[in-house]
């Protein structure tokens, strides 16, 4: 069974519910979410990118969603990860190289690793929060 495509298709089903949830939010968070929603198009990939709204919803800074670590020793990497609440990390051997690892961090712990790319990590992160 192709689990990745199955997961992403199920994730797409949850996107509409997430958007409705975001629309109901009020205050400063609600304004940020509505501004973000105004940029979402009918494109599936654009819809999946609304995972940034999850950051607003959880009072996190969306600019902190993806953290890139280049040429970092493992001990420094884990020290940096411990400070993350929720996010995606990208490990690179050099600044211009392809990622050697992409993963998800929740409460300072690596929850998923060895993901193919940031888009998949975003989808997985979204799924972790909305499938419970």
Bridge partner list, 123: none
C-alpha to C-alpha distance for 15 and 38, rounded to whole angstroms: 15
CA distances from 83 to 20, 38, 68, 76 (A): 31, 31, 14, 11
Q: Residue 46: which pLDDT band, with cuts at 50, 70 and 90?
A: low
Segment 77-129, tens digit of pLDDT: 999 999 988 889 999 999 888 889 999 999 999 999 999 888 788 777 776 66
Share of the chain above pLDDT 70, in %: 77
The average pLDDT across 17-39 equals 79
Dihedral (Cα; 95, 114, 127, 10), 10-degree rounding: 110
First to last CA, the chain: 22
Residue 92: its pLDDT value, please? 93
32 sits in the region (left: phi over 0; alpha: psi -120 to 50; else beta) called alpha
Q: Residue 49: which pLDDT band, with cuts at 50, 70 and 90?
A: low
**Which one has a higher pLDDT value, 54 or 70?**
70
> Hey, where are the domains in the chain?
3-130
Residue 27: its pLDDT value, please? 84
Segment 52-63, tens digit of pLDDT: 677 777 777 767
Q: Within its chain, how far is the Cα of 5 from the centroid? A: 17
Q: What is the DSSP string of 4-49?
A: HHHHHHHHHHHHHHHHHHHHH--HHHHHHHHHHHTT--S-HHHHHT
Q: Within its chain, how far is the Cα of 8 from the centroid? A: 13
């Amino acid at each position: 069974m192709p689990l990745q495509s199955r997961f992403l298709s199920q994730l797409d089903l949850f996107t509409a519910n997430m958007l409705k949830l975001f629309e109901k939010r009020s205050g400063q968070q609600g304004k940020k979410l509505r501004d973000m929603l105004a940029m979402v198009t009918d494109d599936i990939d654009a819809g999946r990118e609304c995972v940034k709204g999850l950051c607003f919803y959880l009072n996190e800074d969306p600019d902190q969603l993806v953290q890139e670590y280049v040429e970092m020793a493992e001990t420094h990497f884990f020290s940096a990860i411990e400070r993350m609440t929720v996010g995606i990390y990208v490990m690179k051997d050099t600044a211009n190289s392809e990622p050697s690892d992409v993963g998800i961090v929740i409460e300072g712990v690596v929850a998923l690793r060895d993901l193919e790319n940031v888009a998949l990590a975003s989808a997985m992160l979204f799924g972790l929060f909305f499938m419970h």
